[in-house]
Amino acid sequence: MTIDRFENEDDKQRYLDWRKRNPNGFVLNINTWNPKLTMYKNIIHRASGCSSLDTPPNINRDRPVTHEHPKLCSTDLNELVAEMENKDLPYKTCDLCKPKVN
């Protein structure tokens, strides 16, 4: 298992393709790389079926890849959780799509 990282605008199509290929996978939306910023949490979504991920950029930070909000994708939810815990970053699962380990 590996985490696929999509970190800038040029990755947008690869990111969308990844979600299509891995409908049972998970997308971690990065809101902060700073462990001390407690007002933000990084949010884990299901790769398919979450309206939040496809909401237009101006109203939602879970929008398709931007430099400010990189996406980490994996078919293993635990792998994304481990990545956050290794880096001591705050995270939660999305309230809309409620990802769970398959």
Residues in contact with Zn ion by CB under 5 A are 45, 50, 52, 94, 96-97
Smallest CA-to-CA distance from 33 within 57, 73, 75, 68 is with 68
In the bound state with Zn ion, the residue whose beta carbon lies nearer, of 45 and 89, is 45
In the bound state with Zn ion, the residue whose beta carbon lies nearer, of 89 and 94, is 94
CB of 50 to Zn ion, least distance (A): 3
Q: How many Å apart are CA 31 and CA 10, to the nearest integer?
A: 19
In the bound state with Zn ion, the residue whose beta carbon lies nearer, of 10 and 52, is 52
- CB of 5 closer than 8 Å to CB of 60: no
